[in-house]
Amino acid sequence: MNSQTDHQDLVEETLQAFTLEDALKLAMHLHYENEYESAEDIYRKLLEVDPENPNYLHFFGLLRHQQGYSEEGINWIKKALEQEPDYIDAENNLGNIYMQTGHPDLAEQSYRRVIDIAPKFVLAYGNLGVVLNDLGHYHEAIKYLLKAIDFEPTAAHNYHNLGNAYRNIKYYGDAVGMFNKSIELNPLDANAYLRLSRTFYLMGEIENSIDVLKRWLNYDPENPIALHMYAAYTNTNAPARASDAYVSETFDSFADSFDGVLKRLEYEAPFLVKKALQQVDPDFNSWQLLDIGCGTGLCGALVRPMVKRLVGVDLSSRMLERAKARAIYDELIKSELTEYCSQIKAVYDVITCVDTFCYFGDLTGAVQAAARALKPKGWFIFTLEKLEESDSADGFRLHLHGRYSHTETYLRTLLTQAGFSIHGIETAVLRKERGEQVTGMVVTASNDNSLN
């Protein structure tokens, strides 16, 4: 008997031994412990027994969202609300999913409805404050976040979110106070330290930014994000690239809201890479494409129709889960991109890399590994953030936001040394950040003269 059959038999035995109420509790426990497959099996069996049960519909919808199937999850929760229109937990979670998937206007409607139904439902005030802040209604956001604090004066996240709203209207002193209060209540609130250090930077108080990072490291001396940002702010012992731990921790925590956030930032990089790939005229009947740093699959979804086989590589397990849910990749691999490419030779017709090299300073190893992984005359298409030639003698620089940028001269030299022929380096706007355009380069190169 195979493991899948064993698993199904175990689920059947569990449901026979438990009451429906106990089975739901077990599924919820497994769900909470991130045992998604086991939880899914039990939820599905419960829905077979009672397909209109609002609890089953709600929790299953929430699970499907967390598995990366957000649209499906939304539909299940809507079915729960059809059965029980005043189900406030379901309505609140529907708002959360809308918020995470880049629909703040719909999230606002859900949160307002929760408050109308249950004026003492505390979570909705904080959630509405967050979504109003995201929509740019900063003063109204502050009003709701203050109400959330009145309800829950010891909840650190409410102060953190209020700090974000104050920062957006440049009430930096008030923002500092709120972030400090959040840290006082939760000394391991990593995002509060990060926002507090960044707020001091916006105030021009770099030494205070560094002091915040020191405080953070006192509580959590091995935190990869704190270590990386400390190197960025002090400009000492800057790593040649962001650590694997920094990348995986950053993007694991960012995965659920990644697509929604980038939508609001007018993210153009994947479309620029798609355009560059179209210009080299790929053969959809035979080409194999490797998408390194694939994330949730934003670029993969665009290039999928243009190639026969699509493989994605990323360090973040949570991002790979979101990419899997798109059902566009033939294979997804958890690996550091340089390590993966170094282990293969002449496999791919094209390698794409969208906004991943901004976490590398020295690109030598990554470029040489890409050359090795490409077939002769294969294409390497990627984006990175642009550094002016006068801003670094090394050709790259780690900035206070924690990302690297590179000069065109450095890039040309590196690609040529690795055996690439450069077909184009186009300056373009990759996205917006705090209302400012982020200028980058879109690079198209082929290993016509590959040394691998």
Please report the DSSP string for 163-209 in residue order: HHHHHHTT-HHHHHHHHHHHHHH-TT-HHHHHHHHHHHHHTT-HHHH
Q: Which of 369, 374, 372, 375 lies closest to 356 in space, CA to CA?
A: 369
96: part of which helix (H) or strand (E)?
Answer: helix 88-100
pLDDT of residue 392: 76
Q: Which of 126, 122, 127 lies closest to 97 in space, CA to CA?
A: 127
d(CA 356, CA 78): 36
Question: Which of 199, 225, 243 is at the close of a domain?
Answer: 243
Which residues have a Cβ under 8 Å from the Cβ of 347 and sit 6 or more positions away?
288, 290, 373, 374, 375
Bridge partners (DSSP) listed for residue 290? 311, 351
Which residues have a Cβ under 8 Å from the Cβ of 226 and sit 6 or more positions away?
190, 193, 213, 216, 217, 220
Q: Residues 217, 283: one domain?
A: no
Cβ atoms 364, 420 nearer than 8 A: no
In the predicted model, residues of the chain with pLDDT beneath 70 are: 1-17, 254-258, 260-265, 449-452
432: part of which helix (H) or strand (E)?
Answer: strand 421-433
**Cβ neighbours of 333 (radius 10 Å):** 15
User: Environment class of residue 286 by beta-carbon count within 10 Å: exposed (0-12), middle (13-18) or buried (19+)?
Assistant: exposed
Q: Residues 382, 417: one domain?
A: yes
Q: What's the domain count of the chain? A: 2
pLDDT of residue 370: 97
Question: Which of 243, 263, 286 is at the close of a domain?
Answer: 243
Question: Which of 243, 267, 294 is at the close of a domain?
Answer: 243
Q: Residues 98, 137: one domain?
A: yes
Q: What is the CATH number of the domain that holds 233?
A: 1.25.40.10
Cβ atoms 379, 445 nearer than 8 A: yes
Tokens of 356: 């991943």
Reported pTM:
0.81
pLDDT of residue 432: 82
Assess if residue 79 is contained within a domain.
yes
